Amino acid sequence: MESVDRNIEKLSSARVLVVGDVMLDRYWFGDVRRISPEAPVPVVSVTATSERLGGAGNVARNITALGGVCTLLGVIGDDEAGRSVAAISRDSQVIAALETDRTIKTTIKLRVVCKNQQLLRADFENKPDPSVIEKLLVKYERLIPAHDVVILSDYGKGGLGEIAQWMQIAKSHGRPILIDPKGNDYSRYHGATMITPNLAEFEAAAGVGPADALAGRAQSLIARHGLDSLLITLSDKGMQLFQRHGKPVYMPARSREVYDVSGAGDTVIAVMAMALSAGLSRPAGMALANSAAGVVIAKLGTAAIDREELRAAIKQDYRA
């Protein structure tokens, strides 16, 4: 446990630049006591609301909650939701290097929740103007030298534009690049240090096949797209790391009650980036990420984990 404790402490030295689709996650909590007379749908009496950083913002929030330094680079609208994103970033100790696009509305995911069950999600989204992305790229090149690792958080909302530009700049500065992928075309991520798909995302890119053929498909994807490593999250079966140089590493899921898996991938990539920034090995980072993911899926909605929660979770995992 001593070495694990040291690894957790090392995370506080991480300096990570997160770039991508910034969102505001809104939650309306309430009770359902009747069905609407207008349509066969429940009527929710809203009793509480909550706002949290979503998308790339949730990745950034996980980094600062674990004691790391994080700059968040993305686009917001000139609206109330954008101002909320900026305010929550400040409260979360995230350095917000946000660009305002006055032609769009800030991306919002609104979830209506009753008794810890999500009844409805409504998305409000627009793609940023290309001229705003160009301004972001200028900020990006200026910010990279102050950070050790880059995360490109691709939610397919247009906040990254042509992702090859971001990767080229990071490579020119010698920075590792971790990517949370979207879609089935991984050629866009050619040369990345690590991508972190879940199993469904991986199979969309590599094809569906039997579990015992997973390693072959993973190594083929790594070779085809010049990846350094591939970390596949396998839901209740844990996660598996494949590397261009090195043996595969498998870690089973930590047994905890699951409330909500939304945002677990954000936690995994955040911890892995911090581990690389702090000089930890990929398997050591994976062990921390695996325990961290087990904590956040036991929380409702997009959530972050702090160092004490992670330390307690790892102790529980060791006892088990």
Any idea which residues carry the catalytic annotation? 266
CA dihedral 158, 164, 167, 171 (to 10 degrees): -160
Number of Cβ atoms within 10 Å of the Cβ of 171: 15
